[in-house]
Chains A and B, each alone.
Chain A
Amino acid sequence: MGLFAVVFSGFGLALLAPWIVPRTGRATGWILGLLPAAITGYLATLVGPVAAGETLQVGVSWVPGLNVDMAFYVDGLSLFFALLIAGIGTLIFVYAGGYLKGHHHLGRFFSYLSMFMAAMIGLVLADNLFTFYIFFELTSFASFVLIGFNHDEAPSRRAAWQALLVTKAGGLALLVGFLLMEQVTGTLQISALLTMGDALRDSAYYVPILLLVLAGAFTKSAQFPFYFWLPNAMEAPTPVSAYLHSATMVKAGIYVLARFHPVLSGTTLWVVLVGGIGAATMLLSAWLALQYTDMKSILAYTTIMALGLLTMLLGVGTEAAVTACLVFVLVHAFYKAALFMVAGAVDHELHVRDITKLRGLKSKMPITAAAAGIAALSMAGIPPLFGFVGKELIYAAALHFGPAVAAVTVVSVLANVALVASAGLLAVRPFWGSLNEVTKKAHRPAAGLWFGPAVLAVFSLGLGLAPWVLDAAVLGPSVGAVLGASVSPHLALWHGLNLELGLSALTLAGGVATYFGWNAMYTSAPGRAFERWLGTGLDNGYDHVVNGLMAFGAWQTRLLQNGRLRNYLSTILVTFLVLVASAAVHTGALQWSPSVAGIAVQEWILGGLVVGGAAATIFFRSRLAMVISLGVSGFSIALLYLAYSAPDLAMTQFLIETLTVILFVLVLATMPLVREQLSPGTAVRDGAIAIGVGGTVTALVLAVLHVPFSNPMGEYYSQNSYVEAEGQNIVNTILVDFRALDTLGEITVLLIAGMGIYAMLGLGRALTPEELGGAATDAPAEPDAVASASSEPAEEVS
């Protein structure tokens, strides 16, 4: 039960947050942070048992027929990530309370944030492929609403759409990959599936499975060439960026790679694809980071660099590499969350994030500056910080990777050189030196704003001095889970004078040189070109794809939805005619033996009225007469229902006819008075279609009557209506009990149709402020294309 609470309490808080937040005043962040803190505490109690080799499993059957369960389990890897998510989450909650203090949508914000955390925890604990997929998509959804939190700003909306489209596309690929995995292994249970690596690798579907799963992981964790969405995602409020970059969302992609590492790795394709793409992403983004002056942009690109590095290490896949990977996940989470919170604190105080404008903030925000300094030292990999331990491990893994020592080592060093320079840009430039015009106005930030970075700084320092505390408790089980083997890694701050240390020194020297040469490099032509191609260039590429899609949509909408009712009806009816008539003729099903015996006089009269009313409609000139004539037909049908003892149908028909008259009058009043003159050819064509369809339906009904009639369903309902559904009206028990799911679907469609009507008719008039408040969503990139497609003039109904 504990695990269910761990996963679903966040969703519970998401429901309650809008109610709690206004009641907590200034302490909101601290109070709501109790939930992630409690989750962290609970998960921490599992560290011992898991390190001793236990795994926890809980689950309830969800769709038993398809083996879909809501199942969770805890092993070393999932516990590692869950602890990180809940732990960083606690700090983010506190920070968000301070950062967004007094925001009018704070309740909504915490609602989304809890959902984000819960989705992420559910993802890492999932034990069923479908559970996994659902939480994977929930993280995309939660990040969508969070990135678009400032929904009245166009860049936020665009960034939110971009993140959603890119990660959802990957999510769909992942789903197909999962389905193929299930086909091969016959199980949806992840813990069982993880033991079937050989079956997967030997199967004919291995390559498609790998490509699909990688598509999901690479889009989610912003690998080349999909990384463009991540820098845009910083449109989100800073607490979200800090969380999204350090512990959630992008780490979901890394988690996918790590989770399925035991069954998908071990082939050349894995090493080339995962290692290659990771290395490319790492190198490109590390240097792209130096092409920006916005603190959050620099941080975003260094996140991509970190993700590329993690991906590359998982691609390498040796024990040293996986150990380095998981250590670096922690290193990165600690310094990245801290630096984002620092950037947010600076932004919060000054509303400036441009490093060329910030100077000397050290004296104004000492704790923030100290936390930033420690985080940046860790980022740069300087002893005795945790980052140094991580970097030594990375270099060790690179130097011991037989197939491509030189490539991996050179790429790692080059990327880390840029990372050192970025660390300098983020923590030295804005905080050292003397105050300038901009920074003079800074205030000391509230406790909530420096609490998180300070705690994380303590972690970066503490784990750097005593990294071995992680060995058996955390790293052993998690690295073992990734490798599918039992390992006992050992971390240390000091490894003696070796090649790794030399590379670290080289990196530091290169980084410092780059930092001092930054001004020249940033403004140089090759630097700008580099950014134009791989930074904004990829982003623009996304726009081209989306615009192309919209243009295609507009084109096919104009073709198919051309606004002429006559064309719609003709298309539908001719399709029906061709398909049904050809099928009927082909199968020879059209047989009948018409007999008029047994038709009562009143039935003749009603039938005559139905046909007569419909036929007369064609010949009337006045629209009102047409409406009345159609009404005669409709009411006669209702009477026919009554004659055949179907009172519910008759009643419904009567009511619909009545309403139709009202609606017709409303619609006809808007019609132009001059009617369109039909050419004789059109009239003949339409007449032929109408007669053809009417004839086909008549023939079908007669053919149905020709077949001996047996109605087991009808008998079932009449026998069980009262026994099973406690009702004597069979029609009603079918609607609300036997087939209630159908009805539920239908009323949902009604609701959607209602929203459509509201949107279409509401567009024509000015909305009241109240209505605007409720409908402040926007179309994706090109609202104009959609609007122009749907606002084609409608043809008259006649």
Chain B
Amino acid sequence: MRNSLILRTAARLLVPLILLFSVFLMLRGHNESGGGFIGGLVAGTAFALYAMAYGTAASRRALRTTPQALLAAGLATALLSAVIPLFQGGAMLQGLWAKPLGVKVGTPILFDVGVYLIVIGITLMIVYELDESGVQFFPQEPHPASLPAEAEESA
């Protein structure tokens, strides 16, 4: 599994596509199959795939933030969408919708974005921490291109 050229090349091509797809899944969720939870899982898988190919350190860099921050940002986003209606005289978590420029947007979508972020955060928290806490199954840095393949041992 370590240092597989096919995996690395495939990951490089696939990860952006999967991420794009995850956003698509999240946004279509309100009317079609999908939603924040599914989208978040897909996006989490994308970064997990990247970690498999290049190691968790590279995947963390690609993420540009920490899973903890994603968890916090996600809950904050969801809470924000929950309290926005309060300022309009509505009830907490009440769905508010508007149509600026012909695009339908509403607080439930913001809420779903929060779910999306939290799911990515928790997925990557588990994947990264499990690997880094001692397993180190994914490629390590400096990446072991010069070392003999060790796929047999780790399986």
Q: Please give the residue numbers on chain A whose beta carbons come within 8 Å of chain B beta carbons, in ascending order.
A: 624, 647-648, 651-652, 655-656, 658-659, 662-663, 665-667, 669-670, 724-729, 731-733, 735-737, 740-741, 743-744, 747-748, 750-751, 753-755, 757-758, 761-762, 764-765, 774
Contacts and interface: CB of A to CB of B under 8 A. Distances in A.
A655 B40 CA distance: 10
B127 A662 contact: yes
B111 A743 contact: yes
B5 interface: no
Given A655-B45, A729-B29, A732-B112, A741 B93 contact: yes
A658 B108 contact: no
Interface in B29-45: 29-38, 41-42, 44-45
B82 A729 contact: no
19 contacts: A655-B41, A656-B41, A659-B44, A666-B137, A670-B135, A726-B30, A726-B97, A732-B34, A733-B30, A736-B112, A743-B111, A744-B78, A744-B111, A747-B118, A751-B74, A751-B122, A754-B121, A757-B126, A764-B133
A765 B133 contact: yes
Contacts of B121: 751, 754
A666 B126 CA distance: 10
Contacts of A659: 41, 44-45, 48, 123, 127
B131 A754 contact: no
Contact of B108 (A651, A656, A663, A725): A725
A35 to B, nearest CB: 24
Nearest to B36: A736
A659 B97 CA distance: 34
Interface in B97-140: 97, 104, 106, 108-109, 111-112, 114-115, 118-119, 121-123, 125-127, 129-135, 137
A5 B68 CA distance: 35
A662 B72 CA distance: 25
B155 interface: yes
B53 interface: no
B137 A665 contact: yes
Contact of B30 (A656, A732, A741): A732
B134 A764 contact: yes
Nearest to A725: B95
A5 to B, nearest CB: 17
B129 A761 contact: yes
Contacts of B31: 727-729
Interface residues of B, number: 55
Contacts of A731: 35
Contacts of A755: 68, 71
Majority secondary structure of chain B interface residues (helix, strand, loop or mixed): helix
A-B pairs, top 8 by smallest CB distance, nearest first, are A761-B133, A761-B129, A655-B41, A727-B30, A647-B33, A728-B31, A736-B108, A666-B130
Given A658-B45, A736-B112, A748-B75, 8 more contacts: A652-B38, A659-B44, A729-B31, A735-B112, A736-B30, A736-B109, A743-B115, A747-B114
B37 A663 contact: no
Contact of B95 (A726, A735, A741): A726
A64 to B, nearest CB: 11
Nearest to B96: A726
Contact of A735 (B37, B68, B122, B131): B37
- Determine which residue in B37, B48, B112 has the highest number of CB atoms from chain A within 10 A of its CB, and name it: B37
Given A737-B108, A754-B122, A744 B82 contact: yes
Given A741-B93, A744-B78, A748-B75, A663 B130 contact: yes
Given A740-B82, A744-B93, A754 B108 contact: no
B65 interface: no
A665 B108 CA distance: 36
A728 B32 contact: yes
A415 B111 CA distance: 61
A624 B154 CA distance: 12
Contacts of A748: 75
B67 interface: yes
Nearest to A731: B35
Contacts of A753: 122
Contacts of B125: 754, 757-758
A737 B95 contact: yes
Contacts of A656: 41
A666 B128 CA distance: 10
B121 to A, nearest CB: 6
B95 A663 contact: no
A732 B126 contact: no
A520 B16 CA distance: 81
Interface string B49-81: 000100000000000000110011011001100
Contacts of A735: 35-37, 112, 115
B93 to A, nearest CB: 5
A762 B129 contact: yes
A663 B133 contact: no
A293 to B, nearest CB: 46
Contact of A651 (B34, B36, B109, B154): B34
Nearest to B153: A669
A748 B31 CA distance: 25
A666 B41 contact: no
A750 B118 contact: yes
B68 to A, nearest CB: 7
Given A662-B48, A729-B31, A751-B122, A655 B130 contact: no
A751 B104 contact: no
B115 A736 contact: yes
A751 B74 CA distance: 9
A732 B116 CA distance: 13
Nearest to A655: B41
A125 to B, nearest CB: 22
Contacts of B78: 743-744, 747
Contacts of A743: 78, 111, 115
Contacts of B97: 726
Contacts of A732: 29-30, 34-35, 112
Nearest to B26: A732
Contacts of A655: 38, 41-42, 45
A747 B75 CA distance: 7
Contacts of A762: 129, 133
B61 to A, nearest CB: 14
A757 B129 contact: yes
A662 B137 CA distance: 10
Nearest to A650: B33
Nearest to A667: B130
Contact of B115 (A651, A728, A747): A747
A759 to B, nearest CB: 10
Contacts of B137: 665-666, 669
Contacts of A747: 74-75, 78, 114-115, 118
B141 to A, nearest CB: 15
Contacts of A740: 82, 93, 108, 111
Contact of B118 (A670, A741, A751, A774): A751
A658 B71 CA distance: 21
- Determine which residue in A648, A662, A747 has the highest number of CB atoms from chain B within 10 A of its CB, and name it: A747
B35 A729 contact: yes
B137 to A, nearest CB: 5
B32 to A, nearest CB: 6
B110 to A, nearest CB: 9
A648 B33 contact: yes
Contacts of A750: 71, 118-119, 122
Contacts of A733: 30, 108
Contacts of B93: 740-741, 744
B126 A663 contact: yes
